[in-house]
């Protein structure tokens, strides 16, 4: 590639950033012309290409890029040392290309109309409303746990394989589409990650590959949490980028499933976020509400805590910090804390749609 072209691509990074921020300031424009206009065609095209392949093409793509980048640094280290300016220009050129591709294929969804606006939900909630929902979720979670196990002390074990859970999740989207057509999901492409162990050590339940539009779920997750995470990652595929919104979508599609195990997974998931928010505000109220849970439900909560605890490592906070910075750079001001913002969506949704 000629130097003039390399220079042009590298310099183009700056106007790209300016243009993305300018377009992103108009969420309705992004919603109309990208999220509901161009993106569905792009998304379905890539899911059509890669969805039938049983393994994650995106994982292989990332591994290959990292491998060849490291190899290049090792093989050409002397050249790089002698041509620092040219190497820096090439790095910026790669970043410019990746920035353009990322936003074209998926990234503009960070600037779309929030799902709360689409559903006409308030942005905040009261402590009283939160406690009311938590009590309702407690009753429902206890009832589902007892209906499944017939024993209040036994934790729920979902008996399905990962592929069976994917199939039931897709069925759940087909059902949810009837009431919320903007969540239609066609040409499925949802898979377990080839690097599930690595994701676990990084502290992630899954991710969407924006370059292949494959939804990746951590295959090591406890099965009782797996359905909601699968629903969450498909939520990214249908065009929602904010983590609180895809948490909410994952809950909705799993809660509305006909399967009792899925309903339990969703109810416990939402309950966990609500209890966490109450604990942050008032520990005494948290203890009172937590004590109302069946021993089996508490066992499932401990299962999740113990699962993540066994993979704690010094690098996990580093990965979380990087992801936090990435989210903040893409208009999620709360960064990684935005996952917890799902509570307001849950509270206000269920004020209009009681459990």
- pLDDT score for 314: 75
Query: Do 33 and 77 fall within a single domain?
Result: yes
How far apart, in whole angstroms, are the C-alpha atoms of residue 169 and residue 167?
Answer: 5
The residue from 95, 111, 127 where one domain ends is 111
338, pLDDT greater than 60: no
Interatomic CA distance for residues 57 and 209, integer angstroms:
9
Range with the lowest mean pLDDT among 32-36, 267-271, 336-340? 336-340
Rounded to whole angstroms, the Cα distance separating 192 from 112 reads 28
pTM score of the predicted model: 0.91
Residue, of 113 and 332, whose pLDDT is higher:
113
Q: What percent of the chain has pLDDT over 70?
A: 92
In three-state secondary structure terms, 152 is coil
Which of 96, 111, 126 lies at the terminal end of a domain, its last residue? 111
Q: Is residue 321 domain-shared with residue 338, that is, in the same domain?
A: yes
H/E stretch holding 98 reads: helix 84-105
pLDDT in the model for residue 3:
81
* CA–CA distance, 145 with 264 (Å, rounded to integer): 7
Residue 276 pLDDT exceeds 80:
yes
Mean pLDDT of 333-353: 76
Same domain, 194 and 292: yes
pLDDT surpassing 90 at residue 339? no
Q: pLDDT class for 336, splitting at 50, 70, 90?
A: very low
Q: Which among 111, 139, 169 is the end of a domain? A: 111
59-74 pLDDT, tens digit each: 999 999 999 999 999 9
Summarize pLDDT for 126-167 with one digit per residue, the tens. Answer: 999 999 999 999 999 999 999 999 999 999 999 999 999 999
**pLDDT score of 203:** 86
- The pLDDT assigned to 140 comes to 97
How confident is the model over 175-185, as a mean pLDDT? 94
* Local confidence band at 335 (pLDDT 50, 70, 90 cut-offs): very low
pLDDT of residue 330: 58
Tally the domains of the chain. 2
Distance in angstroms (rounded) separating the CA atoms of residues 251 and 228: 6
Residue 313: predicted pLDDT: 74
Mean pLDDT of the chain: 91
Which DSSP letter does residue 3 get?
A: H
User: What pLDDT is attached to residue 269?
Assistant: 95
211 and 89, same domain (yes or no): no
Q: Does 240 lie in the same domain as 264?
A: yes
Strands of the sheet containing 214-217, edge to edge, are 190-192, 214-217, 206-209
- One domain for residues 202 and 280: yes
Same domain for 145 and 68: no
**Residue 292: HSE in the Cβ half-sphere, 13 Å Cα cutoff:** 17
Instruction: Write out pLDDT tens, residues 252-271.
Output: 999 999 999 999 999 999 99
**Cβ-contact 145, 271 below 8 angstroms:** no
Tell me what pLDDT residue 292 has. 96
**Two structure tokens written together for 84:** 């620092």
Q: Is it the case that residue 4 has pLDDT exceeding 90?
A: no
Domain that holds residue 80: 3-111
Instruction: Answer yes or no: is pLDDT of 40 > 90.
Output: yes
Output the CA–CA distances (angstroms, integers) from residue 109 to 66, 97, 241, 327, in the order listed: 26, 18, 6, 12
Q: Which residue has the higher pLDDT, 3 or 54?
A: 54
Q: What's the pLDDT at 65?
A: 93
| Average pLDDT of the segment spanning 179-198 | 94
125 and 175 belong to one structural domain: yes
**120 shares a domain with 92:** no
Residue 94 shares a structural domain with residue 120: no
Closest CA to 227 of 209, 203, 253: 253
Residues 252 and 342 in one domain: yes
Kindly state the average pLDDT of the residues 322-347: 64
pLDDT of 319: 52
State the average pLDDT over residues 212-233: 95
Instruction: Say if residue 293 is in the same domain as residue 242.
Output: yes
């Amino acid at each position: 590639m000629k130097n003039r072209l390399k220079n042009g691509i590298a310099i183009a990074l700056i106007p790209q950033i300016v243009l993305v921020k300018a377009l992103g300031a108009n969420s309705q424009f992004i919603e109309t012309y990208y999220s509901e206009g161009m993106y569905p065609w792009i998304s379905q095209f890539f899911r059509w290409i890669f969805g039938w392949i049983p393994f994650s093409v995106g994982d292989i793509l990332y591994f290959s890029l990292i491998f060849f980048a490291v190899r290049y640094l090792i093989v050409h280290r002397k050249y790089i040392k002698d041509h620092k300016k040219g190497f820096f220009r090439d790095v910026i050129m790669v970043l410019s290309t990746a920035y353009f591709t990322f936003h074209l294929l998926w990234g503009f969804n960070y600037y779309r109309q929030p799902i709360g606006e689409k559903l006409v939900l308030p942005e905040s909630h009261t402590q009283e409303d939160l406690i009311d929902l938590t009590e309702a979720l407690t009753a429902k979670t206890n009832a589902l746990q007892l209906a499944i196990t017939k024993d209040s002390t036994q934790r729920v074990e979902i008996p399905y394989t990962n592929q069976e859970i994917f199939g039931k999740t897709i069925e759940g989207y087909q059902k949810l589409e009837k009431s919320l057509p903007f969540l239609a999901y066609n040409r499925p492409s949802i898979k377990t990650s080839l690097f599930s162990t690595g994701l676990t050590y990084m502290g992630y339940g899954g991710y969407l590959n924006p370059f292949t539009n494959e939804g990746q779920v951590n295959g090591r997750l406890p099965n009782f949490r797996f359905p909601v995470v699968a629903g969450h990652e498909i939520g990214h595929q249908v065009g929602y980028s904010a983590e609180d919104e895809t948490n909410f979508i994952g809950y909705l599609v799993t809660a509305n499933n006909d399967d009792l195990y899925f309903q339990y997974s969703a109810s416990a998931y939402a309950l966990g976020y609500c209890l966490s928010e109450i604990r942050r505000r008032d520990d005494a109220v948290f203890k009172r509400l937590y004590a109302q849970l069946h021993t089996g439900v508490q066992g499932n909560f401990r299962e999740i805590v113990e699962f993540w605890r066994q993979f704690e490592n010094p690098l996990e906070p580093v990965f979380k910090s990087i992801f936090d910075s990435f989210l903040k750079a893409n208009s999620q001001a709360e960064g990684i804390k935005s996952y917890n913002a799902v509570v307001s969506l849950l509270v206000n949704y269920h004020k209009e749609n009681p459990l």
